């Protein structure tokens, strides 16, 4: 996303940087539920409510780094990115 102003787009294509949060072809339901219910993740997720897509993108990147790209953090960020896609905010 170097040199790209995320705020310049209404919808973001999955190919415009959001694909970096696509780690798995399929996530078993139990793994997804256990990952997204974690207290620390819930605080981060809630901190993104009502923020710009640029803020969400940067927060997800920081979360992955902070958690050393753990499997759980990958599930969490991918699940969040997929929710943005389902809501029509990104393509």
Q: What are the extents of the domains in the chain? A: 6-86
The pTM (predicted TM-score) of the whole model is: 0.76
Q: What is the pLDDT of residue 13?
A: 45
Query: Tokens 């990147």 appear where?
Result: 61
Place of tokens 């993740």: 41
pLDDT, residue 17, reads: 77
Q: What is the model's pLDDT at position 23? A: 85
Per-residue pLDDT tens over the stretch 23-80: 888 888 888 888 889 999 999 999 999 999 999 999 999 999 999 999 999 999 999 9
Residue 8 reports pLDDT greater than 50: no
Supply the pLDDT for residue 64.
95
């Amino acid at each position: 996303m170097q040199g790209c102003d995320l705020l310049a787009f209404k919808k973001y294509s999955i190919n415009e940087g959001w694909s970096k949060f696509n780690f798995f072809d399929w996530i078993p339901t139990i793994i997804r539920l256990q990952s997204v219910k974690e207290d620390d993740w819930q605080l981060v997720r809630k901190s993104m409510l009502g923020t710009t897509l640029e803020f969400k993108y940067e927060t997800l990147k920081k979360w992955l780094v902070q958690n050393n790209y753990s499997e759980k953090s990958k599930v969490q960020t991918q699940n969040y990115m997929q929710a943005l896609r389902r809501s029509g905010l990104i393509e």
